[in-house]
Amino acid sequence: MLFKTSEYVECLMVVEEAVRRQFEVSEQELENEAHGDADPLREKEHEVVPGLINKYGNRVLALLTTECAAYCRFCTRRRLVSDTQRGTVDRSHVDAWMNYLRKHGEVREVILSGGDPFIVEDDLFEYVLSEISGLDSIKVIRIGTRAPVSDPCLVNDRKLEIISRIEQPIYVGIHFEHPAEMTRATVRCIKNLRSAGAILYSQTVFLKGVNDDYQTLFDLFTGLIEIGVRPYYLYQCDPVPGAEHFRVDPEKERHIMTQLRRSLSGLACPNYVIDAPNGSGKIPVPLEFWNCDTTKYTDFEGSIHRNK
């Protein structure tokens, strides 16, 4: 994965170590580059047409671009992200997705992701959303993004207007890692998305040296709920190449999450999950309220895994 930041992120990196750590290439990343699993979610195996992934039957993931405003060094899709030549999507790709969706009426939900969907040209953004929303079988549209954190200007008036026109509920999942990311510009961007009618939720990854302590996550989730973003998932960092140094001891994560569950309101408390390594789903992790064996777990397909 290439190195890239936005001007906006660069300003944040200067004042906030936790942000710098997420975007700066470190020696540890280069040392770990040869280890790990490049596609831990097994997305390639479930690609039904180029850029369209159907792992679960009733919902699909559409990779609208491989570009982002800034590249997070722990990205789960680092095998694809930043490869803008290979990952360029145009209307012909969207047309192929539509052909698939027309033939598969059981798909009710489309998740636009990438890369960051907010980085694509407004015309392509409009085309994909109006095509998908024109299908009666699609009941829910989701957009996964980090743009409000990495370059809020990407959430421009035209894209907001396009979102506001869509009939189906649009859920925008925003990737946050640290309370310092809730700047004035980001909060304004969140407000604009809410005014456009989007329903907002967050996704966060436990990251060593960034957010692996109770207070940081308490402040993050409390702050998010107060600006209108529902904390949704808190993940273990995937074992992708170059990201080993970001991974936190699972017992430490469980302990922090147990503390959070005690103090956060239910609405502000995300689901703490492991994204099962064979791509078979997000497995909820039991907290310390339960006496059970947390060294292994069974995924949605019945396979048993060791909790590394």
Q: Under the rule (CB under 6 A), what is the footprint of ligand SF4?
A: 68, 71-72, 75, 77, 81, 114-116, 146, 175
Residue 218 contacts residue 264 (beta carbons within 8 Å): yes
Q: What φ, ψ does residue 66 adopt, rounded to 5°?
A: -110, 10
The CB-of-80 to ligand SF4 minimum distance in angstroms stands at 9
The CB-of-217 to ligand SF4 minimum distance in angstroms stands at 18
User: Which CB, 62 or 98, lies closer to ligand SF4?
Assistant: 62
Q: Bridge partners of 201?
A: 173, 230
Contacts of 238 (CB under 8 A, 6+ apart): 37, 40, 41, 74, 76, 205, 275
The CB-of-149 to ligand SF4 minimum distance in angstroms stands at 8
User: Which CB, 93 or 175, lies closer to ligand SF4?
Assistant: 175
User: Which CB, 9 or 101, lies closer to ligand SF4?
Assistant: 9
Residue 248 token pair? 């936190």
The CB-of-175 to ligand SF4 minimum distance in angstroms stands at 6
Selection from 64, 74, 83, 237 nearest residue 142 by Cα: 64
Residue 257 contacts residue 287 (beta carbons within 8 Å): yes
User: Which CB, 81 or 207, lies closer to ligand SF4?
Assistant: 81
The CB-of-306 to ligand SF4 minimum distance in angstroms stands at 26
User: Which CB, 116 or 181, lies closer to ligand SF4?
Assistant: 116
Contacts of 197 (CB under 8 A, 6+ apart): 163, 164, 166, 170
